[in-house]
Amino acid sequence: MKRRALVAGNWKMNGSHDFNASLVREIVLEIKRFPDIDVLVCPPAPYLDAVGRQLAGSAIQLGAQNLCEQPKPGAFTGEIHGGMLRDVGCAYVIVGHSERRALYAETDARVAQKFAVALACGLTPILCVGETLDEREQHRTEAVIARQLAAVIEDSGIASFKQAVIAYEPVWAIGTGKTATPAQAQEVHAFIRGQLAAADARIANSTRILYGGSVKAENAQSLFNCPDVDGGLIGGASLKADEFVAICAAAQ
């Protein structure tokens, strides 16, 4: 089965009204050239509404970078419920990004709760998995990723991946300028697909698995050519319209 590619921009904690407006203006102008892929931007929460309004009528979808693990809204100061993300037009939400796992102590169990709430709210979770440099050097990449995936599969069930995306993001490649080689990426993507296939071959075949970690215009094509790489989760390069558009062109 040929899977439709997805290119998602994770703006992280960057942007302002003016910066976002000019970035979105440029991307929207170019996006018509890429009818065969899905494109998504994930601005910081305060800007979701404004960016969503600017995207209205374009093919670019809106995503959030995080959500609260609580199933219902209520007295959780500073948190954002998945229903609110839907309300402002989000279709996707990133869960388990390595920065949240490392800097905000998000455990596998917490990530699994967030994944379940995202689904219950009608959002498509983008589940990030990936190993640190130490874990890779200790040949623990597969064990770490199997554990991260299992937490979600055990909690939400394999069928939940009919409405979910996985992003393989080796932690050592995020924001470092070091990209996994296409062979390294393909090896782990095939492993992830194999983990899904052990539970359900059809779902494994249809689930999109993105690569993330210092993807740029110059390396995107070789990564996207890998048979199990179905697009990218793009951090730094998604803040530059020409780079992001070139990455979309590579996925088209």
Nearer to ligand PEP, 12 or 101 (CB): 12
Q: Is 83 annotated as ligand-binding?
A: no
The token pair at 115 is 């994944």
The token pair at 31 is 């996006």
To the nearest whole angstrom, how small is the minimum distance from the Cβ of residue 128 to ligand PEP? 7
Is residue 187 flagged as an active site residue? no
Q: Which of residues 197-216 bind ligand PEP (CB under 6 A)?
A: 212-215
Of positions 9, 10, 20, 192, contacts ligand PEP by CB under 6 A: 10
To the nearest whole angstrom, how small is the minimum distance from the Cβ of residue 13 to ligand PEP? 11
- Cα separation, 92 vs 82, whole angstroms: 10
Residue whose C-beta lies closest to ligand PEP? 235
Is residue 81 flagged as an active site residue? no
* Residue 156 contacts ligand PEP per CB under 6 A: no
The burial class, CB within 10 Å (0-12 / 13-18 / 19+), for 43 is: buried
* Residue 52 contacts ligand PEP per CB under 6 A: no
- Cα separation, 76 vs 15, whole angstroms: 26
Q: Which of residues 164-183 bind ligand PEP (CB under 6 A)?
A: 169, 174-175
- Cα separation, 81 vs 66, whole angstroms: 9
Beta strands in 36-153 (DSSP E): 38-42, 60-64, 92-95, 124-129
| AA identity, residue 206 | S
Q: Which stretch binds ligand PEP (CB under 6 A): 19-27, 152-160, 185-193, 233-241?
A: 233-241
**Catalytic one of 97, 99, 135, 243:** 97
Q: What is the CA radius of gyration of the chain?
A: 17
Scanning the structure block, which residue is given the tokens 């779902």?
203
- Cα separation, 144 vs 98, whole angstroms: 12
Nearer to ligand PEP, 16 or 176 (CB): 176
Scanning the structure block, which residue is given the tokens 């210092």?
214
Q: Is 231 annotated as ligand-binding?
A: no
* Residue 102 contacts ligand PEP per CB under 6 A: no
Active site residue ranges: 97, 169
Known binding residues for substrate = 10-12, 175, 214, 235-236
Residues forming contacts to ligand PEP in the complex (CB under 6 A) are: 10, 12, 169, 174-175, 212-215, 233-237
